[in-house]
Structure 1
Amino acid sequence: MLAHVKPHDPYEDLPPQARSLHRRALVFDAHADTLTEMTDREYDLDLGPGGTHLDLARCAQGVLDAQVLTCFVSPKCLPDGSARRVRALLDTMDRQLARFPDRVALCLEPGDVQAARASGRLAGVLAIEGVHAIEDDLGLLREFRRRGVRSMTLTWNNSNGWADGCGDEGPHGGLTSLGRDVVATMEQLGMVVDVSHAARSTFDDVLDVASGPLLASHSCARALRDHARNLHDDQLLAIAAGGGVACVNFYPGFLVREGPARLSDVLDHMDRFIDVAGPDHVGLGGDFDGIPAGPVGLEDVGALPRLTAGMLERGHDEAVVEAVLGANLLRVFDGALERVSSEAAAGAAASGASNITCANAQRVEPDAPDHGAAT
């Protein structure tokens, strides 16, 4: 549980079981656009201005232990401003780490999320939204990985030189040859491949190429809301078959066709994910600070205990709730890094080195093919 929790309990109306479980569980969300808000509106995590969804006070109120902080790059930054934008967003994260060393931690290695939580700090995991951010250059992918990025979506809504997105008529029919290279390189670097925003053709190609578990960081159930950003049941099954996690988005437009969305709608989509994929393959992907407003009853991260109470009220046992709140997502991120650490250690052993550890192995980038800039 994070330090600096207010002395009173803002959720004293919730059942004691829900309050206790929420404090005990690891709460880990897979997608927030807070870095974009902080960069553009020039504020820090200690105090979010009106209209934002995530700051340190509300993380403490909602007992949010870990958050994937996404570097969103608008297609308007193309063709040559995307990398500059990512660097600016990463600089914002560096500023938070410098300002709040006792309250925020950047997680790079297996075990870092749990270590941050144990020390009372918000565990931050960095991601990029849209491979167009690397400007057709795998060298930029390696640069951003060195700066802490551990996951990336292959597209935003737009298609790019690597893959087709869900929001346009993609020209490629899925992954390009360069897109296949970027998936392979991400896995070599211990980065989690995120299929949210991908066109169906891209999703299917990723299944053929990827060897590790996949993440859908912020999507909903297509069976409940027919939207191009949502996942069909067979996609949920495919993610589960590979050991991955599909995370429910809180954006009202993905939850319901019209009218205000409510906490109950989030729970409906969560139930669908659990029924189809199984409880070990579902997580939270709120999209806070990337959506205009959250559902009624789940307006910001401070309201997350109500989600726990809602799951219990619907009959899910505590083990299922703990898995969905964060244990599943932790498994995917730690697993990707552990595979790279094991491969690095095995390679070092084969070459005669005997003192490679998980920590120092991660300071050396694994070899990756250098295909240069795409044309």
Structure 2
Amino acid sequence: MTDMPASAPTTPPEPDGSSLERARAVLAEHPLVDGHNDLPWAAREQTGYDFDALDIAARVPTTQTDLPRLAEGGVGGQFWSVFVPSTLQGDAAVAATLEQVDGVHRMIATYAGRLALARTADEVERANASGRLASLLGAEGGHSIGCSLGTLRMLHVLGVRYLTLTHNDNTPWADSATDVPVVGGLSAFGREVVTEMNRLGMMVDLSHVAATTMRAALETTVAPVIFSHSSALALCDTPRNVPDDVLAALPANGGVCMVTFVPEFVSPATAAWRLEAAAAAAEVGVEARDWEAFGRFTAGWQVEHPKPDATIEQVVAHLEHVREVAGIDHVGIGGDYDGTDTFPVGLEDVSGYPRLVAALLERSWSRADVAQLVRGNTLRVMRDVEAVARDLQTTRAPSLATFAELDGTA
């Protein structure tokens, strides 16, 4: 295997002043709602959720996210990921997820003048009207519920408003994009999870799942789905991205694909670099889907095998591809800040959103289309999911089904 060529350092041209000014004006009127940010895991790893030691009211050099840069970025709503690695399973995964939920609630309380918990689209609007950033919760991986619909319901009570059906590993009831298929998409219990999420008003998140799982979920759900942080497979061939047939199904479903900035999912050169890194890691017994171990491996490996840069222009291409295939009503943004080590040049942290919006305006995106992208589509999906839940709760009781009952194993 040959080494990837080192990428030359690049500095993108700043958008012209008028474009950047117009971008900031659009974001001031329509504050961005981002689908995925892993600051809670960074807080857990760095300080054990000690927000005196990790004071996000000031600029934090060890994260990509803090309150000053969120304000600079024009962010009005953030889904904080209460992610735990899928190497944790069962009770350990549930406990760690609850600690993540607790960490986000304590972060919101610590910065109550700047952050507000939001569980509905109306609460996002009220938070912004009060001058605060709406803080929403999303759980990244079905391992966080431990094959228990009761646990799913309690996460909803605690404010979690989406569940990503898998992370990097399969769950017993759903296939992941980055694991060996086992159930062919969703098992019977997996379909019950989706159905119960519809009844609760919890969004079904199809980032990280296999394409077969995406299609099974779309067949099962009666509410819109989301991809909280995924890009277009047609432009970057990685299983973490969304195939065109699934994007084309979003108008009928009403869902939204929130394009991510992760270079490996945006740039073909960076995706190829990751494949080479995964092969090198496998030679020393490290699996690429082991998020923590692979991250430690690549931190050293890329010293001699530099990761190619991704660009704002490549992110724009993914946004425009999703718009072309699914339509302007079905595209959003899920940056995944603090969820990976590098980001496209010009989008290195959460302050970069205006540069992306400026690039879109320079490509003749209308203000109305940008408003839908950065905010309107996500809030519309939230409202639609809430409306479906209100209807279902008048006719359907909480499911008492168990994994063992539906899938035949303990």
Q: Same fold (TM over 0.5)?
A: yes
Question: In the alignment, which residue of structure 1 is the partner of 2:29?
Answer: 24
| Counterpart check, 1:197 vs 2:173 | no
1:343, CA displacement in angstroms?
4.9
Cα offsets for 1:57-108 (capped at 9, x unmatched):
1111111000111111212211330011111101111211221112111111
Whole-Å separation in 2 of the counterparts to 1:329 and 1:198: 20
Question: In the alignment, which residue of structure 1 is the partner of 2:264?
Answer: 253
Matched to 1:340, the amino acid is: A
User: Any conservation in 2 of the 1:45–1:96 contact (CA below 8 Å)?
Assistant: no
User: Any conservation in 1 of the 2:223–2:388 contact (CA below 8 Å)?
Assistant: no
SS of corresponding position for 2:82: strand
SS of corresponding position for 1:333: helix
Question: In the alignment, which residue of structure 2 is the partner of 1:13?
Answer: 17
Whole-Å separation in 1 of the counterparts to 2:169 and 2:392: 34
Question: In the alignment, which residue of structure 1 is the partner of 2:295?
Answer: none
1:371, CA displacement in angstroms?
2.1
- Of the three residues 97, 100, 105, the one matched with 2:111 is 100
Question: In the alignment, which residue of structure 2 is the partner of 1:301?
Answer: 350
Whole-Å separation in 1 of the counterparts to 2:223 and 2:264: 31
Matched to 1:367, the amino acid is: A
Cα offsets for 1:21-51 (capped at 9, x unmatched):
2211131101111111112212353246324
1:12, CA displacement in angstroms?
9.1
**Unpaired runs of at least 5, structure 1:** 1-9, 348-365
User: Any conservation in 2 of the 1:279–1:323 contact (CA below 8 Å)?
Assistant: yes
1:373, CA displacement in angstroms?
5.3
Matched to 1:141, the amino acid is: L
Matched to 1:305, the amino acid is: P
Question: In the alignment, which residue of structure 2 is the partner of 1:135?
Answer: 146
**Structure 1 367/34 Cα, relative in aligned 2: closer, same or farther at 3 Å?**
farther
Question: In the alignment, which residue of structure 1 is the partner of 2:398?
Answer: 368
Whole-Å separation in 2 of the counterparts to 1:82 and 1:44: 27
SS of corresponding position for 1:247: strand
Question: In the alignment, which residue of structure 2 is the partner of 1:7?
Answer: none
User: Any conservation in 1 of the 2:241–2:265 contact (CA below 8 Å)?
Assistant: yes
Matched to 1:29, the amino acid is: D
SS of corresponding position for 1:321: helix
C-alpha RMSD of matched pairs (Å): 1.8
**Structure 1 47/76 Cα, relative in aligned 2: closer, same or farther at 3 Å?**
farther
Matched to 2:311, the amino acid is: R
Question: In the alignment, which residue of structure 1 is the partner of 2:184?
Answer: 173
**Unpaired runs of at least 5, structure 2:** 1-13, 48-53, 270-307, 405-409
User: Any conservation in 2 of the 1:11–1:19 contact (CA below 8 Å)?
Assistant: no
User: Any conservation in 2 of the 1:128–1:152 contact (CA below 8 Å)?
Assistant: yes
User: Any conservation in 2 of the 1:11–1:305 contact (CA below 8 Å)?
Assistant: no
| Counterpart check, 1:333 vs 2:382 | yes
Sequence identity percentage: 36
1:110, CA displacement in angstroms?
3.9
Question: In the alignment, which residue of structure 2 is the partner of 1:3?
Answer: none
Cα offsets for 1:151-204 (capped at 9, x unmatched):
011111211112000001121111011101100111100000011111111111
Matched to 2:137, the amino acid is: L
1:113, CA displacement in angstroms?
0.4
Whole-Å separation in 2 of the counterparts to 1:131 and 1:339: 22
Any residues of structure 2 matched to 1:286-365 within 5 Å, and which? 286-344=335-393
1:342, CA displacement in angstroms?
4.8
1:125, CA displacement in angstroms?
1.0
- Of the three residues 219, 232, 244, the one matched with 1:221 is 232
Whole-Å separation in 1 of the counterparts to 2:364 and 2:218: 33
1:305, CA displacement in angstroms?
0.7
**Structure 1 193/75 Cα, relative in aligned 2: closer, same or farther at 3 Å?**
same
Any residues of structure 2 matched to 1:209-288 within 5 Å, and which? 209-258=220-269, 259-288=308-337
Question: In the alignment, which residue of structure 1 is the partner of 2:91?
Answer: 80
| Normalised TM-score (structure 2) | 0.81
Matched to 1:102, the amino acid is: G
Cα offsets for 1:5-28 (capped at 9, x unmatched):
xxxxx9993533223222111311
Q: How many residues align?
A: 347
**Structure 1 14/83 Cα, relative in aligned 2: closer, same or farther at 3 Å?**
farther
Whole-Å separation in 2 of the counterparts to 1:55 and 1:338: 33
**Structure 1 12/62 Cα, relative in aligned 2: closer, same or farther at 3 Å?**
farther
Cα offsets for 1:99-145 (capped at 9, x unmatched):
11121111113400011011111101111011111111111111111
